[in-house]
Amino acid sequence: MSRSEIFRRHVASDPANPLFRFSLGQALWTEGDAAGAIEHLRLAAASKADWMMPRVLLGKSLQTIGDKSEAKAVFTDALALAVAQGHEEPEEELRALLATL
C-alpha cells in the first residue's frame, strides 16, 4: 500500500484534519502526482496562516503543472514565513525557486 493510499484513508475518516491533508498532499507530491496534491496542500495551508511547509509543496506542485503565476504568489508567501520564522534552508530554497519563475 502506497503512502498516499494510507493517508487517503485518514482523510476519508477525518476530512477536516489539516495534518492528514498535508500528509496526503506530501505523499502525492512524492509519488509524482503534483496535480492531485494541490487540493490537499491548499486546505492544509489555509488551516494555519503561519504553516510554511504546505505552502512550499503547494508552490512546487503549482510550478510542476505550469501555473507559474500562482506558484510565484505561494512561494512569496512561504518566503515571508521562512524569513519571519528564521528558517534559513527553506529561505534559500524559496529564493532559488522564485528565481526560476
Report residue 56: phi and psi, to 5°.
-60, -50
DSSP string covering 27-41: HHHHTT-HHHHHHHH
Q: Which domains does the chain have, with CATH numbers?
A: 3-99 (1.25.40.10)
- pLDDT range class, residue 20, cuts 50, 70, 90: very high
3 state SS of 18: helix
Which amino acid is located at 40 in the chain?
A: H
- pLDDT range class, residue 40, cuts 50, 70, 90: very high
The dihedral region occupied by 86, where left means phi > 0, alpha psi between -120 and 50, and beta the remainder, is: left
pLDDT for 64-99, tens place per residue? 999 999 999 999 999 999 999 999 999 999 999 999
Q: How far is CA 45 from the centre of its chain?
A: 7
Instruction: Judge if pTM exceeds 0.85.
Output: yes
